[in-house]
Amino acid sequence: MFALTIALAAVAAYPTQAEPLFNGKDLAGWHMDVPELDKNSKGTKPFVVRDGFLVSLGTPGGHLITDKSYHDYKLTVEYRFSATPGNCGVLVHASKLRRLYDMFPQSLEVQMQSGDAGDFWCIGEDITVPDMEARRGPKSNWGVDGDKARRIKNLTDGSEKPVGEWNTMVVECRKDKVEVHVNGDLVNRGQLCTASKGHIAIQAEGCEVEFRKVDLIRLD
């Protein structure tokens, strides 16, 4: 009976245990997909560890992808645009590489671009949110490939901090639902996502971004 009590207590505590996906030292647990390096394996790698931060240099374009696949989790990312505002993103449920434009893996992107943090971008996967037409445009244009209406605008702007200050983005994925908070504000929420598991990826998309935390909590 005592052993059972201990086991149940461990299960109850499990969801609160954060798993650091970035160890502050190197890129263990991650791999890169950078199309430009196909031609020149000795070219610049756009993801490095510098002063204890994971840094997306922005160029050449590509993705840093977890070796493991995940489902039902809360992801906490602390990031900042250290010098200039720009573009980046965290991709959840990533699967097939280079699905879009021979660059982006099939996934749901949670936008980090300055001024638009929390937008959803559909990359071969889709999701449903309230007020879809107001936030995505006419239904006839919706799609998950090419020039279709893949962007779903966030619920609020103004949640981000100025350049140089740290932002906290929390992405909760539970079954077919995805919810995003930025600095404590609910900025997006959707359901009926066409994927519920996959890898997690960070973009290199034109601008330097520093990350000091990438933590994951598994959810029951």
Q: What domains can you pick out in the chain, each with its CATH number? A: 2-218 (2.60.120.560)
Look at residue 13 in the predicted model and tell me its pLDDT.
Answer: 43
Tokens linked to 115: 């001024």
pLDDT in tens, 11-30: 444 456 899 999 999 999 99
Report residue 177 as tokens: 């639902």
Q: In whole angstroms, how large is the CA radius of gyration of the chain? A: 18
Question: What pLDDT was estimated at residue 220?
Answer: 80
In this prediction, residue 4 has a pLDDT band, given cuts at 50, 70 and 90, of very low
Instruction: Report d(CA 50, CA 53) in Å as an integer.
Output: 5
Residues 193, 76: Cα–Cα separation, whole Å? 20
The mean pLDDT value for 120-124 works out to 98
If you write DSSP's letter for every residue of 127-158 in order, what string do you get? Answer: -B-TTHHHHH--GGGB-SSTTSB-EE--S-S-
The band of 76, judged by pLDDT with boundaries at 50, 70 and 90, is very high
**Entry pTM:** 0.92
At 219, give phi and psi (nearest 5°).
Answer: -110, 145
pLDDT band with cut points at 50, 70 and 90 for residue 197:
very high
Percent of the residues in the chain that have a pLDDT greater than 90, as a whole number:
90
pLDDT of residue 157: 86
- Rounded to 5 degrees, φ, ψ at 138 are -55, 140
Average pLDDT on 118-136 reads 98
CB within 8 Å of 16: residues ≥ 6 apart: 217
Contacts of 83 (CB under 8 A, 6+ apart): 163, 164, 208
